[in-house]
Structure 1
Amino acid sequence: MSNRIHTLNHDEDDRRPNLQASSGEESEGEGSDPRRRRPQEYYVGGSERSGQQVIDPRRPGEPNEPPHPMAPLAFNARLGGGHAAPGSVLRVVVELFDDGFTVDNSALRPYDTPEAIAFMDDLKARRTPEEFKRKYGANKAIDVHCFKKPGNYVFQPFSGAGQRLGAPTPATADEVPANSGLPEETLITDTSSLVTEQMRARAQQSIGLIDASSSAPTTRLQFRFPNGHRITGIFSPDHTIHHHMRTFVVSADPAFSYRLFNFYTGFPPAKIEDEQQTIKEAGIGNSVILVRL
């Protein structure tokens, strides 16, 4: 194995493997053809005496530009924890898109929020972000794998055929027992303006229609969530209730993907039964939509 491979737990210095060109290419001269130079090798996972060697698919000399000015370059590094015992290291994947980033397949986070800026600054400096310290502990060893993904983020809601288990009528959210083994995702309860705006930005991004500045017709819907959030989205009249409105709600608060919910509108509120309709066909443009579990 090449002596240019560097472990994540190296005792002698504080260098970390990254996806930038290696400075140890002693065998190639300055005039050598970059296309013939050997690709960068990396060591991932395991401990000092075990792990896996991976090869950077990019040729040396190819640009490694971040997708956004606030984003770091792609890298693999261990943050915090010092010399962690084998099997005790967490693995976190950060994916960088042109319009935001995700952490372990989370909802898309815009780059320009104060929290995202602080998060990216910590990654650039190879510091453990405050978010990870609160979630995993200040001294937890975390292997961060930060990758650039081409293009904008595309939300992919669950799709496919289901298999019926148990009773033909599924239990409602209130009927699911606490020890049922279902994911215990908690709905967002913080109704501060900052959190509400973050929810709105995620939701609006998920349906692709960012503003009403184009000449195409648009309509606004105000969603009232069970925990008090009021979030207004911009839609096309041709957007469907089942796809676009449900995607909007689940993107705003991903915990809704684990719950059965319905839409109500009008006064007194009436349940929207036919969700295959477009917003225009249902006649609910520029109205208030109640989200009920």
Structure 2
Amino acid sequence: MPTFQIVGANPDALEAAVVKYNAASSPFVGQGRKLSDASPAPQQAAPTTAASKGEFEGVDASAPTTTLQIRLADGHRLTGTFNVTHTVADIHRYIRSEQPRCADKQLMSAYPPKPLTDENATLEQAGLLNAVIIQKP
């Protein structure tokens, strides 16, 4: 932040100081850095977070759809496309088809966090349109 020491209201002196400061600096010069420029992070022994992307069986492309991200208890993530009329039970079926070992665990909405206990509620009724769903361990 430049600091100008000018006594009184002197627009000419202020303008001259700005011109002088601007000539002495060269902001935003150079190539900069991008996230892709960074060296790769060291590998950690953590659960894999590979994401599986798919469309739930029986999605009607002519009807409204939504995409859900499902964070599984084992660290995996699933991303699926559903119709807004699919139910919470359909999410369980999708998880069972994609990751059988993670099936039948309780699901929660991410925000606000609440258990998804009504298996017959549609995604729209449950407030899960374009939502993140978390599977409890």
Question: If the length of structure 2 is used for normalisation, what is the TM-score?
Answer: 0.57
Tell me the matched-pair count: 92
Identity of counterpart residues, as a percentage? Answer: 33
Partner of 2:124: 280
1:256 alignment partner in structure 2: 102
CA offsets 1:272-292 (integer angstroms, 9 cap, x no match): 121211111112111100011
Identify which of structures 1 and 2 has the higher relative contact order when contacts are C-alpha pairs closer than 8 Å and 6+ apart.
2
Q: Which residue of the partner structure matches residue 155 of structure 1?
A: none
Give the alignment partner of residue 84 of structure 2, picking from 237, 240, 249. 237
CA contact (8 A) 2:110 2:134 kept: no
Q: Secondary structure at 1:250's aligned position in 2?
A: helix
Deviations 1:247-272 (A, max 9, x none): 11111111134xx4111114352111
Query: Could you tell me how far 1:221 is from its partner in structure 2?
Result: 0.7
- Contact 2:85–2:123 under 8 Å retained in 1: yes
1:289 maps to a residue whose letter is I
Counterpart in 1 of 2:48? 191
Alignment equivalent of 1:226, drawn from 42, 66, 73: 73
Moved over 2 A (4+): 189-193
8 Å contact kept, 2:109–2:116: yes
TM-superposition CA deviations, 1:71-108 (whole Å, max 9, x none): xxxxxxxxxxxxxxxxxxxxxxxxxxxxxxxxxxxxxx
Identify which of 83, 93, 98 aligns with 1:247: 93
Which ranges in structure 2 are unaligned for 5 or more consecutive residues?
1-45
Residue in structure 1 matched with residue 58 of structure 2 by the alignment: 208
1:240 CA displacement: 1.0
* Structure index of larger Rg: 2
* Distance (Å, rounded) in 2 between the aligned partners of 1:225 and 1:255: 10
CA contact (8 A) 2:47 2:75 kept: no
Task: Tell me by how many angstroms 1:190 deviates.
Answer: 6.3
